[in-house]
Amino acid sequence: MDSIRKLKVTKSDVGHYLLEWDSDVFKGELHVQVSEDAINFNGEPIVLTNEGESKGLSSVSVPDGDKRFYFRLLDSYGLSITCAERALRFAGGINFRDIGGYATADGRRVNWSRIFRSGHLSNLTGSDMRVFEKLNIRRVCDFRLSEEREKENARLPNNPELVSLEIMPGAGDPLYFHKLFQKTEQVEEIVVAMRTMMSYLISDNVESYRNFFNELLSHGGSGALLVNCSAGKERTGVGVALLLRALGVPQETVLYDFMLSKIYFPAELEVDRVLKKYGVSNEEGKGAKLIWPLLETRESYLQAAFETIDSVYGSLELFLESCLGLDKTRLGELKRLYTT
C-alpha cells in the first residue's frame, strides 16, 4: 500500500495542523519539516520519537494560518514522504481535494497543489475566497452543463480561465433518473443505473475527456488547475481516475482516491435537494432510501467505468492512446508536468 494513504494532515486551528500516521510507516526517530513550498524544505526539523504506539500523532504550529503548508517526514532509515492537507474544508464548497502525493509505479509522486478536484463552489464564504485565492488556480476544467453552472454560479478569485467540457448527467438522457424514479421503488435498480451511467461516461464522452487531457498538457506550469462538476464524484471522479492512471498511479490507489468522496461529499445534506429535483416522495423515508445510491460513493461505480474500458477498447493503454491521444511522447510530457 502507498504510504501516503497512511498519513493524514488536518488543519486543527488557525496556525495549527495535526499530523497522524500508522505505526508501520516510519521507523525510529522521525524528523518533520514544514514549508510553504512542496519542494524546498530549509527549516529546522521537529524531532519526534516513533516507537511503541499504534499510531503516530503530532501537533505542528505554523507561522501564518492562512497559507498552505507542506510537511516532509523523514525517519531514521531514510524514508521521506511529503504530505499536505488533502481535503480543504470550504464552508461554501463541497468535496474539494488535492490529488497530490500519490506514488506512481516508477517511483515518482504526483505533485502537490498542481491539480485540485471538487464539486460546485457556488456558496464560498469570504474566508473560503481568501483560501482559494492563495491556491493560485488559473484554469477550471468544468464537466457541468451550462444550465448547471447557471444554477450553481460562482465568481472565483483570480478569475481563472473556464474550460467547458460538458458531460450530460445520467446516461445520455437528461431525464434518465427522473424516468427511473417514476417506474421503480427498487434500490438495487438505482445502483445498477449508477453503474450504467459510469459506463456511459467512458463509452459516450471520449471527446470531453480527450479535451481534458489536452488542457492538462497545454496548461503546463502556469499555476494550478481545478477539475469539477456538481458533486465532484462521478464525472470528475472518472476524469481524475483516468489522469492518475495515465500518470502511473496503481489502480488500488486510484480507487482509494475515488472513495474519498464517501468522506468529503456531504451526502446526508443533499437528500432534500435530490428528492425535490427528481420529484420523489419521501413517505416513511422510502424516497430517501431510493435516491441514496445517487448520493453515496461505491467502489463498483468506478469499477464499471474501467470494465467498460477493458471490454470496449481492450485495455487501458489502448484507450489512453487511441481515444485520448496519449501516445508515449504525450504521456511522458504529462508525467514531467505533474509528477516528481
**pLDDT tens-digit map of 167-192:** 998 888 888 999 999 999 999 999 99
Q: Identify whether the C-beta of residue 162 lies closer than 8 Å to the C-beta of residue 267.
A: no
* CATH number, domain with residue 50: 2.60.40.10
Which pLDDT value is given to residue 152?
Answer: 84
Alpha-carbon distance of 230 to 149, in angstroms, equals 8
pLDDT number for residue 308: 97
Instruction: Tell me which of 39, 58, 84 is where a domain ends.
Output: 84
pLDDT of residue 322: 96
Domain residues for the domain of 5 are 1-84
**pTM of structure:** 0.94
- What percentage of the chain's residues is helix, strand, coil (to nearest 5)? 40, 20, 40
Judge contact between 160 and 140, C-beta under 8 A.
Answer: yes
Residue 269 has pLDDT above 60, yes or no: yes
Q: Final residue of a domain: which of 67, 84, 101?
A: 84
153: which 3 cell numbers? Answer: 454560479
Instruction: For residue 328, give the H/E element and its range.
Output: helix 328-338
In terms of Cα–Cα distance, which of 13, 49, 19 is closest to 34? 19
* Best mean pLDDT range from 8-17, 216-225, 259-268: 259-268
| Structural domains counted in the chain | 2
63 shares a domain with 23? yes
CA distance 330 to 141: 19
Phi and psi at 208, nearest 5°, equal -65, -45
User: Which contacts (CB < 8 Å, 24+ apart) does range 309-314 have?
Assistant: 309/202, 312/202, 312/203
